[in-house]
Structure 1
Amino acid sequence: MGGTSKSTTDYEFQTVWRVAGTPHEVMDILGDAGTLARWWPSVYLRVVPLDPGTPDGTGKAFFLLTKGWMPYTLRWRFTVTEPITERGFAISASGDLNGVGRWIFEQDGPETVITYHWRVSASKPMLRRLSWLLKPAFSANHHWAMARGQESLALELRRRRPGTDLSKVPRPSPPTFASRYRWPRSTTHA
C-alpha cells in the first residue's frame, strides 16, 4: 500500500496481510524474530540475537542482514519497543535503516488481518546517494519483500498446524541472487 515521504531518504509504508490463523498464532511467529531466517528466507538472510529482553518481549534485540529482490543487503538492528501481544507490537530499527514499525493483529472470522506501519529512513550510503533517482525502485523492493512475507507467513502457519503433512507444504521462496549470499556460520555481525 501507500508510500509517502518527507525527504528522498525517508519512506513510509502501510502493508495489510490477511492469513488463515488466529492473532495468537500470528503473534507466536512474528513475535519470535529469531526464526525469521528460517520461515522468511527470501528477505531475512541472517538473524543474530543480541538481547533477550523482558518476559513480555520488550527490549528483545536482533542484528539482521536483509534483502529484497534488488541485489543489495541491509544490516540493521531490530529492537522490540512495546510488549508482544495478540494485538501486535512495535519495533525500532537502527543501522542501514532507522525508524519505527508497528504490527497490528485483528481477528476476522477464521483469519487474522495484519497491518504493518513502517516509517524508516535509509542511512546505507548507496541508498542515500541514489534515493533521489531510484526511490520508486526502492519502494517496489519493499513491496516485493512484504509480499514474500505474507506468502511465507501463510506457509509457516500451515506448517505449525497439528496433523499437517509437512511434505505437502511448499518451502518458502529463497532469496533472489542466492549464490551471492553464502558465508560461514561462524561469521559475526560486526
Structure 2
Amino acid sequence: MATYNFVNTWHVAATPDEVWEALAHPGDYPKWWGKVYLECEVLDGLTDPKVGGKVRVKTKGWLPYILRWSIETTALQKPSRIEFKAWGDFNTEHSYWEITLEGNGTKAVLYWNPRVEKLFVKVFSPLLRPLFKSNHYWAMNQGQKNIAVYIESLAKQKGK
C-alpha cells in the first residue's frame, strides 16, 4: 500500500488570521501555489470557508506526472485549525493544518497522511518512495515560499 505520513512546518511572516485565510481558501491556491496547484475548481460555489466546502484540484510536483484529486473541508477553527479529507489520486480521511502564533509570525503545520491511488506512484512506491517524498517536500516548499508574498499582496489591495 502506498501510504505516506508527512508533517510539514511552515514559518510565515504574517499573522495567524492571514495564514488561516489563505489556507482556508483552496480555490485560491493556484494564485500563490501555482507551480503546484495547476487548477482548482470550486465544486459548490464556495466563496467563504465552510465545513463541507469542496474543490477539485490538479497538482504537480517536480516529477513529470499530474495528480487529480478533491478536497473537502471537514472542520474549521479560526484562526488555528483547518481539517480536511481528500479523494482521487490521493485519499485521506483526516488531515489538517495547525496554525499558531510564533514570534513575529506564524507557524503552520500540515499533518498529511495520504494513501496514493495514482497507479504509477502506487506501483513504484516500494522502490521510489524517497523520490516521491522529495517531490512532496518540493511542492510544500513552493507553498511556503509564496504564501507570505500572496498575503502581502492581498493587504496592499485592501489598502493596509
**Following TM superposition, by how much is the alpha carbon of 1:109 offset from its aligned partner in structure 2, in angstroms?**
2.9
Q: For the Cα contact (< 8 Å) 1:27–1:84, is it kept in 2?
A: no
Q: In 1, distance between residues paired with 2:76 and 2:91?
A: 20
Give ranges in structure 2 of 5+ residues lacking alignment: none
Question: Are 2:84 and 1:91 aligned?
Answer: yes
Q: In 2, distance between residues paired with 1:50 and 1:118?
A: 22
Q: Percent of aligned pairs with the same residue?
A: 33
Larger radius of gyration: 1
Q: In 1, distance between residues paired with 2:157 and 2:49?
A: 29
Q: How many pairs align?
A: 157
With the length of structure 1 as denominator, give the TM-score of the two structures.
0.78
The one-letter code of the counterpart of 2:150 is E
Which residue is 2:134 aligned to?
140
Question: Are 2:100 and 1:124 aligned?
Answer: no
Identify which of structures 1 and 2 has the higher relative contact order when contacts are C-alpha pairs closer than 8 Å and 6+ apart: 2
Q: In 2, distance between residues paired with 1:146 and 1:54?
A: 24
Which residue is 1:51 aligned to?
44
Rate the CA distance shift 1:137–1:106 in 2: closer, same or farther, 3 A. Answer: same
With the length of structure 2 as denominator, give the TM-score of the two structures.
0.91
SS in 2 for 1:81: strand
Q: Deviations over 1:40-77 (max 9, x none)?
A: 10100000011246976100100000010101000001
Match of 1:70 among 55, 63, 67: 63
**Following TM superposition, by how much is the alpha carbon of 1:163 offset from its aligned partner in structure 2, in angstroms?**
7.7
Q: CA RMSD in A?
A: 1.9
SS in 1 for 2:76: coil
Give ranges in structure 1 of 5+ residues lacking alignment: 1-6, 165-190
SS in 2 for 1:24: helix
Q: Deviations over 1:148-177 (max 9, x none)?
A: 11001121122123389xxxxxxxxxxxxx
The one-letter code of the counterpart of 1:27 is W
